[in-house]
């Protein structure tokens, strides 16, 4: 299991909770990307709105890159804190205008988003 550490310094201003999770093989994750948990395997992958395996629900923001080309990889995610919405990769969860419903959903999960000064 290979994990490359790369925390994005301007990604958050207040990180209140982190956890290590296993990223599913063949699903590379980059620091700053929103992730969801596949219900059946309890492994994380990049969260996409069209998924129906549980991963469509954002559970955190990746704090480091995870190279899953050789198999599953353990990586660190932020599950509660204040994150810079300009640095977070929302995959297909966002549009050009930051989605208010998405912001509420993330806040309920403990992930506050704001455009922080860089």
Asked whether residue 114 carries a pLDDT value surpassing 60, the answer given is: yes
16-39: pLDDT as tens digits: 889 999 999 999 999 999 999 999
Asked whether residue 117 carries a pLDDT value surpassing 50, the answer given is: no
Tell me the domain boundaries of the chain.
2-114
Distance CA 15, CA 19 (A): 11
pTM above 0.75, yes or no: yes
Question: Is 2-114 a CATH 3.40.50.620 domain?
Answer: no
Structure tokens at 50: 């069209």
Which one is predicted more confidently, 63 or 113? Answer: 63
Q: Which residues contact 6 (CB under 8 A, 6 or more apart)?
A: 31, 64, 65
Do residues 37 and 21 touch, judged by C-beta distance below 8 A?
yes
Nearest alpha carbon to residue 112 among 9, 12, 7, 10: 12
Distance CA 93, CA 40 (A): 22
Give mean pLDDT, residues 39-54. 95
51-108: pLDDT as tens digits: 999 999 889 999 999 999 999 999 999 988 888 888 889 888 765 444 565 666 677 7
């Amino acid at each position: 299991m290979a994990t490359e550490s790369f925390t994005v310094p301007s990604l958050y201003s207040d990180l209140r909770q982190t956890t290590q999770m296993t990223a599913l093989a063949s699903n590379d994750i980059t620091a700053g990307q929103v992730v969801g948990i596949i219900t059946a395997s309890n492994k994380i992958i990049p969260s996409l709105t069209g998924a129906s395996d549980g991963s469509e629900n954002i559970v955190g923001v990746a704090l480091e890159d995870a190279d899953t080309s050789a198999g599953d990889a353990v990586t660190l995610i932020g599950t509660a804190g204040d994150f810079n919405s300009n640095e977070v990769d929302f995959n297909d969860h966002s549009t050009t205008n930051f989605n208010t419903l998405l912001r509420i959903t993330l806040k309920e999960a403990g992930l506050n988003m704001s455009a922080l000064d860089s």
